[in-house]
Structure 1
Amino acid sequence: MKTVSILKSTVVALVTMSAAAAAESYNANHFFAERHSMVRGPYVEFAKKVAEETDGAIEFNVFSAGSLLPPASSLQGVRDGVAQVTYHAGTYTPSELPIANLIGDMAFYNTDPLVMAFASTEFGLTNPEQQAEWKTNGVVYGGGYSTSEYFMQCNTPIRTLEDIKGKRLRMAGGAWSRFAEHVGAVPVSIPSSEMYTGLDAGSLDCAVAAADALDSFSLKDVVTDMNTLPIGNYYAGFEWGYNVPFWQSITPENRRVLFNQMAYYLGEHRIEFDKDVEKAVQSAKDGGMTVVDPDDTLKNALAEFVAADEATLVANAKERGVEDPEVILTSFKALIDKWDALLAQVDTADVEALAELARTEIYDKIDETTYGVN
């Protein structure tokens, strides 16, 4: 009888311990493939770290390549609880996120991806108007990102301004499409997943995207020429946006875990993205792709566009109901300049140094007991 009692007690203890350690399962959504730098670190590794650091209280099941939500539905999907955290490309929802798109269209002000990733993250977490926009859309903003610089990856040579006229360029919408029109090209707004088909079928002359696409979207098989004119970089929306009921249901201690891990992968992602670009470009060059620098006609056309487009940004934002977009842009520019200076003082190839900077300058200043709750 004593042995039976001991066994019963042991079983009860084990069941209790197992239940306590069992992770709550949640959905994490990204529309890029798992091998992409925006997924493999900030989502796949991130999910493992969060499960470890929360002692199994939070376990994310990562859905990639649009297997849970298509790109245009990610904002609604996280709001409705289909996913508890998601990536969202802001240009898919310009009416719902006019402020996020306003700052996202500032991609030509500073084309350093690391600067823009950190500046957009601080803006998204701290700017009152932007915070109100997230709240209206039922999302708790967690952190941002930036692609590497966008280049023209083409199946035809583009050397001069004259060469680009009439060419069909896949663009990310917004300022990129306006730049295409400015130089006499034809902007084509399609998802990145359709770039290969467009170039292969001849419905596109160039895909304007980060050059990791040569590998991650297999564009090296259909691209013969790449022009390194820096056509901005993409950071509109968010890398991590959380469902409100989920965020409010977890403990402040676990919100701090998420903050710390986002700080780490904000920097890790940028380093890995640039490494992927370097490897993809070298592989494509080895396969015969030609890489050329822009001539003065293209550089001058880009400079003219950047100088003129801010008025368009402001006008578009006002049409979408944004009050005082000039004030918002001034605030965002100040953050860009701040991060340009801060990042010049650290080793930008050191993930830990970048993570520490993100924590001390951004995430440690946010109160995990109130952020996203009040």
Structure 2
Amino acid sequence: MNKLLKSVIGLTAIPLIGGVLAGPAVSETRELRYAMGHPPGSFVVDAGQAYADAVGEYSNGELSVKVYAMSLLNMAETSAGLRDGIADIGFVLTPYFPAEYPHTNLLSESSMLLRLYGDKIVGKEGLAYIGAMSEFVFNHCPECNEEFAEQNQVYTGQTGGSSYGLVCRTPVKSLDDLKGKRMRVGAGNWSRWVESVGGVGITMSANEMNEALSQGVVDCIVLSAPEIHNFGLTEAVTDITMAVPGGIFTTAGTNVNADVWRSLTEDQRRAMLHAATVEAAQIPFVYHQREDEVLDGLRERGVGFHDADDELVEVTQTFIEQDMDTLATHYSEKYGVERSAEMLSDFRPILDKWVELVQEIDSVDSLADLYWEEVFSKVDVSSHGL
């Protein structure tokens, strides 16, 4: 028997494909399930798909992400569902879960600080705050990462939108207009503001806002303009006042199930972090970009636009300055956040830095690059989340 025949016989365990010896098996792409509570077609889901595409690119095809928009898990289910492995990645709205994520939410609830920077940051509030908060959670808040770990999750960055105003079914211009008004709020800072101006704060899932506003269950929703599009509120809105209260909604947009994270190689974890900068950048950038477009569309529909009077603006400004102490005390006493005052103090210079860093940003790509260079690329993938 010649040597060639012997070698072929010795390879009988290797399958023949079309009469030709098959080569080494090509490794299959691993697909990860990404649960997003926002509806299909929303700006957030568009950003989620951009993140999914980036995961495939940065992992050289080793990983892929399938986005489940308002299907696999809704907003209220995502935290527990990600913890339990129903999803591999989740858009976790941490303010919905105050007891589970108190340290992270302390920082989220201080976002009305952005009003104190005046015109310098108008139109770029989200760009600055997302960079500052991501840097702080990764590098200066071990407690934040511990509370994610307790939920079997790994933090891979923050995201958020544009400034919040009042989306209503009645004109709001003054303190008198706000007295007794029922207003849906998505976080504690806005709830406290509503109470401070004589309103009644109501908490409900964002998925319920359209019905609540349409049926008069609430008079107003504290919300950013692009969310009117995202949640299909166009038909329900009759009046808008964007001057108050300010602040942005932030959340952990690309948290990864801890078991999944541990199963990844270091290169794959790095790819996930790099991809996270794409979503972290696209959401605030697009929100600010689309804000005028959404508002112009509402004007064309005959929605009333109102300015807040001087008294309401002044009361709001005073509230923000005083609320930092209230916030620290509240989180310390109710949730046991021992470093609450220290955290808020340490966060301010980081926010100052990011207000400066985003001044020249003019594209999603440049913002994602900035997030990567300043923060995400410096995360130690050999230890983070492990």
What CA distance in whole angstroms lies between the structure 2 residues aligned with 1:302 and 1:151? Answer: 12
In structure 1, the residue matched to 2:120 is none
Amino acid at match of 2:129: M
> Structure 1 unaligned runs (5+)?
none
Instruction: Report whether the alignment pairs 1:101 with 2:105.
Output: yes
Does 2:61 match 1:62? no
Displacement after TM superposition at 1:236 (Å)? 4.1
Q: By how many angstroms is 1:367 displaced?
A: 1.8
Q: Indicate the larger mover: 271-280 or 93-102.
A: 271-280
The partner residue of 1:37 within 43, 46, 59 is 43
**What residue number does 2:158 align with?**
144
CA distance in 1, matches of 2:126, 2:243: 15
> Matched residues in 1 for 2:45 and 2:110: separation?
24
The 2-side partners of 1:218 and 1:356 are apart by 32
Alignment-mate amino acid for residue 28 of structure 1: Y
Structure 1 vs Structure 2: percent identity of aligned residues?
28
How well do the aligned residues superpose, as a CA RMSD in angstroms? Answer: 2.2
Correspondence list, 1:267-306, <5 A: 267-306=281-320
1:122 is aligned to 135
> Please, which of 8, 14, 19 is the counterpart of residue 16 of structure 2?
8
Does the aligned pair in 2 maintain the 1:77–1:83 contact within 8 Å? yes
Judged with a 3 Å threshold, the aligned counterparts in structure 2 of structure 1 residues 255 and 12 are, in CA distance, closer, same or farther, namely farther
Does residue 31 of structure 2 align to residue 25 of structure 1? yes
Structure 1 distance, partners of 2:320, 2:341, is 16
The Cα offsets for residues 139-176 of structure 1, whole Å up to 9 and x where unpaired, read as 11001112211111111111111111111111113111
Shift of 1:58: 1.4
Q: Offset at 1:220?
A: 2.1
Equivalent residue of 2:160, what SS?
coil
How far apart are the structure 2 equivalents of 1:122 and 1:230? 27
Aligned match for 1:200, one of 210, 214, 220 = 214
Deviation at 1:271, TM superposition (A): 1.7
TM-fit CA distance, 1:278: 2.0
CA contact (8 A) 1:146 1:233 kept: no
Alignment correspondent of 2:79 = 75
Aligned partners of 2:76, 2:240: CA distance in 1, in Å?
28
Cα contact 1:23–1:57 (8 A) shared by 2: yes
SS at match of 2:91: strand
Larger radius of gyration: 2
Unaligned regions of 5+ residues in structure 2, if any? 116-124
Q: 1:15 to 1:45 in 2, by over 3 A?
A: farther
Further displaced range: 163-172 or 129-138: 129-138
Say whether the 8 Å CA contact 1:37–1:276 is kept in structure 2: no
SS of the residue aligned with 1:152?
strand
Change (3 A) 1:16 1:278: same
Distance 2:261 2:52 in 1: 15
Equivalent residue of 1:71, what SS? Answer: coil
- Report the TM-score, using the length of structure 2 for normalisation: 0.89
Counterpart of 1:370? 383
> Secondary structure at the residue paired with 2:312?
helix
2-structure distance, mates of 1:176, 1:37: 23
Is contact 1:103–1:236 with CA below 8 Å preserved after alignment? no
* Distance across 2 between alignment mates of 1:328 and 1:180: 25
